[in-house]
Amino acid sequence: MDSLSWEDLQKLTEKETDTVNGPNNSQSKLRLFGNSENDIKVTLFRDHHAWCPYCQKIWLWLEWKQIPYRVKKVTMRCYGKKENWYLDKVPSGMLPALELNKELIKESDLILLSLEREFGPLGRRMREPSNLKLRNLERKLFRVWCQWLCSPRTNSRQENKSKENFEEVIKEVGTQLTETNGPWLDTNQDNHGRRKPGTIDLIFIPFLERMNASLAYYKGFSLRYEHPAIDKWFQALELEEVYRGTQGDFHTHAHDLPPQMGGCYISPNEKQKQFSFAIDDGEGLGTQEINCKDSKLNDEFSSKVNALTRVIKHRQKIMELNPLGPKKFDQPLRAALTNMMNNEFCQPEKGSAAGLRYLRDRISVPRDMSLLAARKLRQSLEQTAKLDGTDASPPLSKQNRYDQNPEPFLKSVKN
């Protein structure tokens, strides 16, 4: 079939959601939860890409507590030039930072303690003995993960020992979840009496999410399948609108982590090859990535519409930055979107496979769109590329991700 025109594709888009008072989202620069701007005491400084794990837990805390706040976004050094205005405020350039009642606070744990003092705890207080014990467990888990993922191994004995060390600590996390009768490490109740995660859960979220992705891609390790209590915890999180607004996908994490962590090392085995191919190819890893049981949240058409809407909004800059250039990439991009929306193969123009795969590899979750929307778009881009050929896009750098520099989009579009 012929590719749809931009006008016809535009008719299939959705009205953009309310980023100020609607569901949690990565595009917002202002969150009010029905309050007035005069009520704002907090400004959160976080990364443009929504990739920073330390920013994520502050972001989650503010959302679950529904504290009105402003967002000012900063470029991480791995992805572009740090803004001078931020370096004037925070000379180290480190993220996150937060202004509370006009006082600047740095370092994520200190930020959480300050927010807790000002607005009350989310569940148990951070310095309660049970939470301090779990905080130490989280740091221990972080260390054994880094030792397994980020250290090159010269023989199988070293590799197996690193895996064993990780397994020992992750089992302890599962035991802690089982002892609370799940799904949370700390049970907090909202104003309607519903059980919600507490601050200690928020502290575990960013790196367990990244462990799940990176160990599948680099080691062939199925964290959720191997540890049912952690899968149950993830499933409960994925029912939470607040969490889904911050959730990254395996492709994003697998390729954003190496520059941040100084390298991630593959342990070759059949599962690792299978998993990494499925992630790179755009297919994804299904319920290892997201295992939400709510059929409304798994609606495929809504995910496609979300992906289409986000691409349409930024289509001119997407085409300009593509190696094919705006003229040559116009029809292939429309062909991929037509394929996605109509479930019918639409032939792209010859010589477009590498350009389609270039975009497939550079969708950023959650910055650009939700996990399920990105999955549908990646799959469509790859299916359309295969109709043209096997040409690959330029490989993603392990030293930096300057290909994700936000500056061109910031100049052209105000989010």
The pLDDT value recorded for residue 413 is 55
Q: State whether 329 and 391 are in the same domain.
A: yes
Q: State whether 278 and 307 are in the same domain.
A: no
Task: State pLDDT tens for residues 153-187.
Answer: 778 899 999 999 999 999 999 999 999 877 999 97
The CATH number that applies at residue 63 is: 3.40.30.10
The pLDDT value recorded for residue 409 is 81
The pLDDT value recorded for residue 412 is 57
> What is the b/e burial string over 316-343, where b = at least 16 CB atoms within 10 angstroms of the residue's CB?
ebbbebbebeeeebbbbbbbbbbbbbee
Averages of pLDDT over each 10 residues, the chain, 415 residues: 94 93 96 96 96 97 97 92 96 97 97 98 95 97 97 88 97 94 81 85 98 98 97 95 97 95 94 98 96 78 96 96 97 98 94 98 96 97 98 93 86 54
**Domain edge (last residue) among 288, 312, 347:** 288
Q: State whether 372 and 404 are in the same domain.
A: yes
The CATH number that applies at residue 277 is: 1.20.1050.10
Pairing of strands 97-100, 103-106: antiparallel
- Give dist(CA 144, CA 207) in Å, integer: 12
Residue 313 lies inside a defined structural domain of this protein: yes
Contact between 15 and 235 under an 8 Å Cβ cutoff? The reply is no
- Give dist(CA 89, CA 75) in Å, integer: 14
Full residue range of the structural domain in which residue 211 is found:
129-288
Q: State whether 267 and 360 are in the same domain.
A: no
**Domain edge (last residue) among 119, 141, 161:** 119
The pLDDT value recorded for residue 292 is 81
The pLDDT value recorded for residue 415 is 40
Task: State pLDDT tens for residues 262-288.
Answer: 999 999 999 999 999 999 999 999 999
Q: Give the chain's domain count.
A: 3
Q: How many Å separate Cα 337 from the centre of its chain?
A: 23
Q: State whether 134 and 251 are in the same domain.
A: yes
Q: State whether 169 and 230 are in the same domain.
A: yes
Residue 144 lies inside a defined structural domain of this protein: yes
Q: State whether 143 and 110 are in the same domain.
A: no
Q: State whether 52 and 106 are in the same domain.
A: yes
- Whether the predicted model's global pTM rises above the 0.75 cut: yes
Give the pair of three-digit tokens for residue 301. 């058409």
Residue 86 lies inside a defined structural domain of this protein: yes
